[in-house]
Amino acid sequence: MKMFRMLFAAAAAGAVTLSAADLSKVLDPKRWSPYECTVAAAEGGGLTVHMPVDHKAGQKDYPIGWPRTYFQRLRPEEKDWSKAKAVSFKFRLEFTGTTQKFPVTFHVRTLAPGAKTAEGIAVLVPGVVNNKEVAVEIPLEKLKNPENIAFFGFSISESQYKHGENLKFTVRDMKLIEK
C-alpha cells in the first residue's frame, strides 16, 4: 500500500516517466492502429506487422498506398520520453519480392502544449537485411516536445515497392536509451 501511495503521489506531481523496462509493453497488438496492414503478437514476444504491397487498393488520398501502423493509445506514463536519447529495438524483415532495398520508416510524433497538430521525426529503419534480425537505434535529439509523445509507429511507401510484394516484419525488445 505504501508503494502504491508513492507511485500515486509521483504521478500526481507529474514525475512518472516511461522507463526502458516499460517500453516493451507497448508491443501488444491490441494497442496498435493498423492501416492497410495487419498486426499480431509475434511468437516468442514482440509485434509482427504484415504490409502487403497493393498498388490498386489504397485509400482515396493514397491510391498507391501507404501501409502503416501507429501506437496511438498512450497511457499517461508512456508519453514522456524527455529522459531518452534514443529508442532501440530488434527488427527482422521477411520480404517476398524482387525489390533490392527495403525502406521502412519509423515515426515519432509529439504534441506541443496547446497545439492541434503533431510534429516529429520520420527516420528510415537503418540496416534492414532480409531474413536477418538487426539491432536498431533511432536517435531522438531532433524530437521537439519529447515529454508529450502523441504516437509512434512504422510505415512504408508502396511506390518504393512493386505491386504484389509482401513485407512482414517483427519488432522486439523496444527500449528507450536514457541520456
Query: What structural domains and CATH numbers belong to the chain?
Result: 17-178 (2.60.120.260)
Instruction: Report pLDDT for 8.
Output: 33
pTM of the model: 0.86
Question: What pLDDT, on a 0 to 100 scale, did the predictor assign at position 14?
Answer: 38
- pLDDT of res. 22: 58
Sheet holding 38-41, edge to edge: 38-41, 47-52, 166-178, 84-96, 133-139
**What's the rounded Cα separation, in Å, for the pair 73 and 33?**
9
Each residue's pLDDT tens digit in the chain (179 positions)? 343 333 333 333 333 344 544 577 889 999 999 999 999 999 999 999 999 999 887 777 766 788 999 999 888 888 999 999 999 999 999 999 999 999 999 999 999 989 999 999 999 999 999 999 999 999 999 999 999 999 999 999 999 999 999 999 999 999 999 98
Adjacency order of strands within the sheet including 68-71 = 32-35, 68-71, 149-155, 105-110, 119-124
Q: What pLDDT score was predicted for residue 21?
A: 43
Q: What is the pLDDT of residue 135?
A: 97
Helices (H) and strands (E) in the chain, counts: 2, 10
Can you tell me the distance from the alpha carbon of 173 to that of 49, in angstroms, rounded to the nearest whole number?
Answer: 15
19-38 as b/e: b if 16+ CB within 10 A = eeebbeebbebebbebbbbe
Cα angle, residue 126 at apex, residues 120 and 128 outer, rounded to 5°: 130
